[in-house]
Structure 1
Amino acid sequence: MQTAHISALEAKHATIDQRIAAESQRPVPDTIVLADLKKQKLRLKEEITSSH
């Protein structure tokens, strides 16, 4: 069960990482959106590392 939870968190982390990359590639990236995505990514990473 724990492994499935970690896998789901890692998948969400990867998705957010892709969204950050896509937003960064825009001609005028939205800094508020980028900041929010980075916070979400950090929270997920913290949860993943605390689950190990």
Structure 2
Amino acid sequence: MHMLLLLPFVGLLWVPFYDRATPALFGFPFFYWYQLAWVPLTAMLIWIVWKFGRA
């Protein structure tokens, strides 16, 4: 279950994957909205690991 916490590191440390401007979302380039999308996703992953790691 703790392996889920590696997803944000893999998703954000591999910069060539998201180093581009398209596709834009509400006028934001992909580079920005991809990084911002990881903020709530990471919080959700931390909650999942916390919730199910206690059992």
Length-normalised TM-score, structure 2: 0.45
Larger relative contact order (CA 8 Å, sep ≥ 6)? 1
Length-normalised TM-score, structure 1: 0.47
Based on CA coordinates, which of the two structures has the bigger radius of gyration? 2
